[in-house]
Amino acid sequence: MSTVSIPEVQTDKGFLPRQTKLLLGAFVILGAIGFIVFNSLAGNQQYFMTLSEMRAKGDLAARESVRVGGNLVPNSTKIDTKAVTAQFTLTDGQNNVLPVYYKGILPDTFEKSTQVIAEGKLDQNGVFQASLVLAKCPSKYDPSQIDWHSSADPGNLNYSTGTGN
């Protein structure tokens, strides 16, 4: 009869056990992934300055492009549809006002908006030359702004002109 010999199992002679090495490697990989994600998200944050902060920074807005946010001054918007330009004024409620000039199409929500963010540079005349304008949508539903009609009086819609009474 033949005898079978079982080989001896050799233990890991390294400094750390195998499971510890795997866990350490996993932590290093997860840490690297977390670091990459954190750094990529930090560059995409959309911060804007208030008018007071922009004034405190001095000529920073004239040297580099900044985002500034404020409230739209009522009845200050002038739109030139032929030249596709707009001029309006922002305020922060603390006697700081900023005239803004924008060449481009304004957002659809601009006229209903009270808060506006503009990105651009301040020129030597103190006018903010915006390259991008963002308008905050109204956050509350206001039924007083809707032209309500009674269902008992459907009105007379003229389909050829699109007008009704």
**Average of per-residue pLDDT across 70-92:** 89
DSSP 125-150: TS-EEEEEEEEPPPSS--GGGS----
Query: What is the tens place of the pLDDT at every residue in 97-126?
Result: 999 999 998 887 777 767 899 999 988 888
For the ranges 12-26, 77-91, 126-140, the lowest mean pLDDT is seen at: 12-26
Give the bridge partners for 115, in sequence order: 71
Report whether CATH 2.40.50.140 matches the domain 49-135.
Answer: yes
For 45-58, write each residue's pLDDT tens digit: 667 888 888 888 88
Alpha helices in the chain (DSSP H): 18-42, 51-56, 60-63
- State the pLDDT confidence band at 143, using cuts at 50, 70 and 90: low
C-alpha distance from residue 35 to each of 27, 28, 30, 38, 130 (Å):
12, 10, 9, 5, 34
The CA–CA distances, whole Å, from 150 to 80, 147, 154 equal 38, 10, 7
pLDDT of residue 114: 76
**pLDDT score, position 74:** 86
Q: Which residue has the higher pLDDT, 72 or 109?
A: 72
Question: Would you kindly state where each structural domain of the chain is located, as residue ranges?
Answer: 49-135
Beta pairing class for 128-135 and 97-103: parallel
